[in-house]
Amino acid sequence: MAYQKGEGKSVVIALGGNALGNTPQEQLELVKNTAEHIVDMVAEGINVVVSHGNGPQVGMINNAFDYASTHDGKTPAMPFPECGAMSQGYIGYQLSQAILNDMKRRGIMRSTACVVTQTVVYPEDPAFQNPTKPVGAFLTEEEAMKRAEETGYTYKEDAGRGWRQVVASPKPQRIVEFDAIKDLMDDGYIVISTGGGGVPVIEKDDSYHGVPAVIDKDRSSAKLAADFKADMLVILTAVEKVCINFNTPEQQELNSMTVAEAQKYIEEGQFAPGSMLPKVEACIEFVQQHPEGKALITSLECAADGLKGKTGTVITA
């Protein structure tokens, strides 16, 4: 059945790692809290697309298959793109279930749809020439070289602890399932998509092919939100507001930033790589591609108030 679309804003929400656990059991409990905050927004008429990270989860799946393949001789090694798809499936299932249960408890007649998402990347992306993201199990040099010969994947020595597969982190170019996500959103579904940035694929001979890589989920969420022309991109993290001079006596919380101000702070080195920097960069990309939209960085607990302009850091063109 088609559900009634909310009368409020359209929002793409990128869940940070603090919203998910390190094991399926821990995650199942944590997503209940996450779902409550998302349903708070749904209850106010906001139309929500939810994306999420998958770093610990895809590593767990990859490690499990690598270990089983190495030790029991019966389990096949699982290609990294398939591990990414598996992580999207089970995280999406748990988020979908938690949101459905909370909506049912509140008497909200809406439903969810989880879309396992592919994200097109360019094979010429410079990131492929320098894969740096370690994934999977530790191997001996002999095992790593054998795997490299069999699969064509890249393995590097990791801080004296052994050899691991390393993958690239290319820039997202297009969400393959965008039309399906938009149609579901227009029909009133709460959509869970683009998990872990989406499974990276390249286009070759008029078809898609998965590649061993990881895409920054905030950048993919920004791309999805811009293409969708969402009113707002919301990137959730562990803090209520973005700060400059972080962890110093001069620390200052920011209520808002323009793109120019954000770029100035980046040049000053105000935002830590691997932490706040990619989130701010994703927000810049969103508002540059869709100047009518706004981006918000805040915590999960403050998201509803942030959408009302009461807290968080807002980035505008």
Told to judge if 279 belongs to the known catalytic residues of this protein, a careful annotator would answer: yes
Told to judge if 101 belongs to the known catalytic residues of this protein, a careful annotator would answer: no
Told to judge if 18 belongs to the known catalytic residues of this protein, a careful annotator would answer: yes
Q: For residues 95 and 93, give the distance between their C-alpha atoms in angstroms, rounded to a whole number.
A: 6
In SS3 terms, the chain reads as CCCCCCCCCEEEEEECHHHCCCCHHHHHHHHHHHHHHHHHHHHCCCEEEEEECCHHHHHHHHHHHHHHHHHHCCCCCCCHHHHHHHHHHHHHHHHHHHHHHHHHHHCCCCCEEEECCEEECCCCCHHHHCCCEEEEEEECHHHHHHHHHHHCCEEEECCCCCEEEEEECCCCCEECCHHHHHHHHHCCCEEEECHHHCEEEEEECCEEEECCECCCHHHHHHHHHHHHCCCEEEEEECCCCCEECCCCCCCEECCEEEHHHHHHHHHCCCCCCCCHHHHHHHHHHHHHHCCCCEEEEEEHHHHHHHHCCCCCEEEEC
Q: For residues 102 and 108, give the distance between their C-alpha atoms in angstroms, rounded to a whole number.
A: 9
Residues 142 and 35: beta-carbon distance below 8 Å: no
Per the residue annotation, which of 6, 182, 195, 217 is the catalytic one? 217
Per the residue annotation, which of 5, 8, 17, 32 is the catalytic one? 17
Q: For residues 213 and 195, give the distance between their C-alpha atoms in angstroms, rounded to a whole number.
A: 14
Tokens linked to 256: 């808002």
Told to judge if 17 belongs to the known catalytic residues of this protein, a careful annotator would answer: yes
Tokens linked to 253: 């919380």
Per the residue annotation, which of 9, 223, 279, 294 is the catalytic one? 279
Per the residue annotation, which of 8, 133, 171, 188 is the catalytic one? 133
Per the residue annotation, which of 5, 8, 18, 21 is the catalytic one? 18
The residues assigned a catalytic role are 17-18, 133, 217, 279
